[in-house]
Amino acid sequence: MNRRRFLKISGIGSIAVAAGCTAEAEKTLFSLIHAPDDMVTGKAGWYASTCRECPAGCGILAKNREGRVIKLEGNPAHPINQGALCMRGQAALQGIYNPDRLQTPLIRESGGWHPVSFARAAELIIQKARAAGQNGPNRVRLISEVVGDTLSRVFQDVLQQWKSDGPLLFEPHAFESLKAAHDMVFGAPVLPSYHMDQADILVGFGADFLETWLSPVEYARKFKAMHALHNGRKGVFIQISPFQSLTAANADHWMACRPGSEATVVFGLIRKLHSSGRGAEIPGPIQNQISRICDTLTRSEVCRRAGIRKADFDMLSNRIIDAESPLILGSGPGMDSRTAMHTDIGVSLLNLILDPALPRHDFQNRHRIECAARRSDVSAFFEAIDSEPVELLLLHNTNPVFTLPSAHRLTEIISRESLFVVSFTNFMDETAELADLICPIQLPLETWDAYEGKTRVTGTLQPAMGRLTDAPAIGDLLLRCAFSDQQPVSDYKSHVAGQLNIQSPADWVNAVQAGGIFNQSEGPPFNPGLSVGELPLDRMMPDSPDDRPGAGLIVMAVPSLRFYDGRGANKPWLNETPDPLTLICWQSVAQVHPQTMAARGWKQGDVILFQSDFGTIKVPVFEWPGIHPDAVAMTLGQGHTGYGRYAQNQGQNPLTLLAPGQNPLTGGPSYQVPLSEVRALGQNESLAHLDGSRTQHGRAIALTCDIQTCHLPSPDSGQGLGMWDFPLTLPIPEGYDIRRDIYPSHPHADYRWGMVVDLDRCIGCGACTVACYAENNIGVVGEKQILAGREMAWLRIERYLDPDDMQKIIFLPMMCQHCDNAPCESVCPVYAPHHGREGLNNQIYNRCIGTRFCAQNCPYKVRRFNWLEWDRPKPLPLQLNPDVTVRSAGVMEKCSFCIQRIKDGHDHAKNENRLIRDGDITPACVQTCPTHALVFGNFMDPESRVRRLADDPRAYQVLGYLNTKPAVIYLKKIVQTLDNAIVSWPGRPLPG
């Protein structure tokens, strides 16, 4: 090769390389040259909206960064949730950014799914609907989740255009028996809201108002308002149910009754009240009927049937009789429909007898879910599709094939050849799989809408983010399909404005900014008209405990705090966060009483085949003391066969065991079924539970104190060095003492951040855990890694049982304690855990080399190591908080007290040239807590809330005797022993 040739070749080569390099440069990170007015890069925008993860209708604020929603928080101005949000609400983000979300409509052709354009999908719907409309009346049917009046009106108009009847609003948990009981007793099938906060005694017969019942965030708040310590007293909550739900775990006393015997207890109480002369206001015929029914329900008979102790029954009845403002709540999940109806009728009567004016029932402000169709109507709806010449079935955000026990029959009906099924959904769920056309629609965070969570609370929804798909809003799509060019309104947004009766654009902006219209005037007064006719109570006698059918066990299918009816199952956070009681992630189990386990020779994790008359299920058993020995409880929501990678084949669906029929009187389903056969299959499954031990082994971790003595300093606390007599040592200079400390205190400038956790307020719902996942970009590790012990949650709720009484449960939120004398800091060779000037124990990720000594030396074991790179399939990374580093494999991480929010607080204070004020900074967990169990603040400020709370005699530090000087101060849980001798509640003097 000569010189010229070499130059030629190298010249061509370098041009080729240079030309090839340009292709990648086309990608741009931001093209926001013309950014929207309200978007500033690096600054969050907040959009008020309404949560649609369940029918409660909580208000939310969606945090938008650079065009994408990264966090949801409760709307503090919203009357339902007042700033709090449950874990399902927090996880709504993983619906929008779900990797299995459908991007385009899919049509079923020649046995497979084929993507089509949205225009083509609309065309198909128009074509099918028009043809159906021309062929005759009622040939188009629509079934939807419960929606607001606005969308419901659109459905009606559209269906009318196609000569069909209105939509069917379907919710799997529709509270049929409660509605029916109210209809029978109060004269209207309504679901009033309850002023739980005004009660002095609350008695529940299963209602899981801290989990899924009507409006859990609202009732969690109200419950703690009534149940928190006021002037040395607190309200009393007693729950009677066969299964100890999270709600029952928070009761002062839980009575395990035999499954199906709840109504017996209710009527036993009515009899007792009657005999003490109460209930004169009840109409005569009903009075007669009650006395007839209750005739045999003596105290001993009730206790025999329900399997409860006589002393407990006496305590319960005496408490109710003596109460000034009692409130009785009705049936809960997992009941059979007959018992549920009787219980709810009995409870309604009981409330009426106790307080005829029903002051704690708010009939003006009723829950939206009351408009959901009865289960019997849902069944009739589907049967009608089969028997009538229906041509087009529209399904909106609903998955009846999964949520109804009659999956086989539904599959038959929906798969019928002559029926064209359109599913408006974003996910390939079990029902969508049977459809002919799947049309994705905008999710609640992307769309305009309105939703009335309660009669007097209208929440608005607005697009809080840019569009991820081209999906239209369901309202727009249907209006366009039905009316083509002569639409009554230009688009669905203006329809919403019209429906809300908003005239001026300013009012509209105000409403949308506030997240709704809350101070609506009262409607026409609702007078609960007492029914005078006979109640359908003749057949109420519950089964005698002796003639239990089949295998002697009864399965209860209870809704899940995490998955609700199953719609949460495709969200990784909800799978990863454990069930608050079993502490099991990802899997589903059957909870069985230890006695039953022992009697049948089952061991934890044994896979048992449960068979009822309607189906079978194979599920591992979990030994759990919080259940009646006759019952087996399983949570609903898992066991999907479709619905995306996170839901599919994860856990089991107990609905397959249940009877498909309904109670003829209430139209409600039964969530309980006797088992005809149970058989161990000889397999054992490792359970992905997070707790290493169920009890505290006598250590100073989650402490309780008695209500009588909670205002006194703990007798143990002193100046000793042992576990029980070690003093409270605040993480500030005052907390140091030459007798205990070798090293001097840290010089904290102005601030020393810390937290106070009131164990008396913590209900263990886990909302904080999920909020923390969302805020801090925490990795989801999946079932396999959970089994290996590698969960990443920065904040966990430890659940401990009392070894003396396993039904006494205490929850302890545990996060990094930001010790002033941190064991992790001294052992790291490279200063990755670093004590900040404001007392924070900062973890510096890029300094960490992964010795893991810090985690070994942390007595609280709150440090989390990134064992691997955690999977975040696209587009889940769009949810990541840009203010928080995403950690890579090999580094340690832990709770930072949301340092990004602290920095933000600094910036604000600096802009205003002042110090940070108490309450300026709210970490994600504190923000979302429905019961205000967590308080964050500055210990250097003697006036701060945390500092004042730390003066409470209940204050202690977990394992404080290690002299780590944790900055998380816990307040002991206040327990009250409910026996007849000690009676203490508001308005009644304490004995002695």
Partner 1 sequence: MAELTCDSIDNTVLDTLQPPSRFYWLLIAFLFMGVLLGAGCWLYQIVTGIGVGGQNNPVHWGIYLVNFVFWVGIAHSGTLISAILHLFRAGWRNPIARAAETMTIFAVCVAGLFPFIHLGRVWVVFYMLPIPTQRTLWPNFTSPLMFDVVAISTYLMVSAAFWYTGMLPDLATVRDRASGTRKKIFQVLSLGWTGTHEQWRHYARGYLFFASLATPLVISVHSVVSWDFALGVVPGWHTTIFAPYFVAGAIHSGLAMVLTLMIPLRKIFKYEAIITVSVLENVAKTIVFTGIIVGFAYGTELFIAWYSHNVVEMETFRWRIFGDYSLEYWIMVICNTLIPLLFLFQKIRTRIPWLFGLSLLINVGMWYERFVIIIGSVAHDFVPYTWGLYRPSLIELGIMFGSFCLFFFLFVLFVKHLPSVSMTEMKETLFAGDHHDQ
In the beta sheet, which residues pair with residue 674? 554
Task: Using CB atoms within 10 Å of the CB of residue 14, give its burial: 0 to 12 exposed, 13 to 18 middle, 19+ buried.
Answer: exposed
Which of 962, 975, 982, 983 is in the footprint of partner 1 by CB under 8 A? 962
Residue type, 543: D
Contact assessment for residue 796 and residue 87, using Cβ atoms and an 8 Å cutoff:
no
Pick the closer one to partner 1 by CB: 672 or 785: 785
CB nearer to partner 1: pick between 699 and 932: 699
CB of 832 to partner 1, least distance (A): 9
Task: Outline where DSSP puts E strands in 475-612.
Answer: 516-517, 554-558, 590-592, 606-611
**How far is Cα 687 from Cα 187, in angstroms, rounded to an integer?**
48
Q: Give 250 or 866: the residue with its C-beta nearer to partner 1.
A: 866
Three-state SS annotation for 374-421: CHHHHHHHHHHHHHCCCCEEEEECCCHHHHCCCHHHHHHHHCCCCCEE
698 binds partner 1 (CB under 8 A): yes
Based on CB atoms, which residue is closest to partner 1, 781 or 940? 781
- Which of 589, 540, 56 is CA-nearest to residue 337? 540
Query: Using CB under 8 A, which residues numbered 820 to 859 contact partner 1?
Result: 823, 826-831, 847-853, 855-857, 859
Buried b (16+ CB within 10 A) or exposed e, 657-677: bbbbebbebbbbbbbbbbbbe
d(Cα 839, Cα 858) in Å, to the nearest integer? 17
Can you give the C-alpha Rg of the chain in angstroms?
30
How many residues lie near partner 1 (CB under 8 A)? Answer: 56
Question: Tokens standing for 553?
Answer: 């066990």
Place of tokens 């049977």: 434
Q: Provide, rounded to whole angstroms, the least separation between the CB of residue 870 and partner 1.
A: 10
Q: Which span (368-376, 482-490, 605-613, 787-795) binds partner 1, by CB under 8 A?
A: 787-795
Stretch that binds partner 1, among 326-334, 408-416, 696-704, 750-758 (CB under 8 A): 696-704
Out of 696, 704, 708, 807, the residue judged to bind partner 1 by CB under 8 A = 696
Give the shortest CB-860-to-partner 1 separation in angstroms.
6
Sign of the CA dihedral 73, 75, 76, 79?
negative
Residues 391, 404: Cα–Cα separation, whole Å: 22
Per CB under 8 A, which region of 257-265, 521-529, 866-874, 915-923 contacts partner 1? 866-874
With respect to partner 1, which residue has the nearer C-beta, 467 or 784? 784
Binding partner 1 by CB under 8 A: which of 790, 908, 917, 932? 790
Residue 708 engages partner 1 in binding (rule: CB under 8 A): no
Q: How far is the CB of 887 from partner 1 (least distance, A)?
A: 11
Q: Of the candidates 791, 883, 893, 920, which one interacts with partner 1 according to CB under 8 A? A: 791
Choosing from 697, 744, 987, 989, the residue that interacts with partner 1 (CB under 8 A) is: 697
Which of 183, 867, 876, 884 binds partner 1 (CB under 8 A)? It is 867
Nearer to partner 1 among residue 228 and residue 855 (C-beta): 855
Q: Which is nearer to partner 1, 859 or 875 (CB)?
A: 859
Alpha-carbon distances of 654 from 311, 345, 352, 785, rounded to whole Å: 35, 27, 36, 26
Q: 């690096």: which residue's tokens? A: 42
DSSP-assigned letter for residue 26: G
Length of the chain: 992
Q: Please tell me whether residue 699 binds partner 1 under the rule CB under 8 A.
A: yes
Helix (H) or strand (E) holding 380: helix 375-387
Binding mask 871-910 for partner 1 (x = CB under 8 A): ------------------xxxx------------------
Q: Which residues pair with 689 in a beta bridge?
A: 584
Q: In terms of DSSP bridges, do strands 106-109 and 68-74 run parallel, antiparallel, or are they unpaired?
A: unpaired
Stretch that binds partner 1, among 99-107, 287-295, 428-436, 691-699 (CB under 8 A): 691-699
Cβ 708 to partner 1 shortest distance, Å: 26
The reply to whether omega before 875 is within 30° of 0 (cis) is yes
Residue 751 CB, nearest approach to partner 1 (Å): 24
Cβ neighbours of residue 68 closer than 8 Å, sequence gap 6 or more: 465, 466, 878, 879
Q: Please give the Cα distance from 253 to 315 (Å, whole number).
A: 10
- Structure tokens belonging to residue 76: 């503090």
- Indicate the SS3 state at residue 903: helix
CB closer to partner 1, 426 vs 866:
866
Per CB under 8 A, contacts with partner 1 among 714-743 are 722-723
Binding-site ranges for partner 1 (CB under 8 A): 690-693, 695-699, 701, 722-723, 785, 788-791, 796, 798-800, 814, 823, 826-831, 847-853, 855-857, 859-861, 863-869, 889-892, 958-959, 962
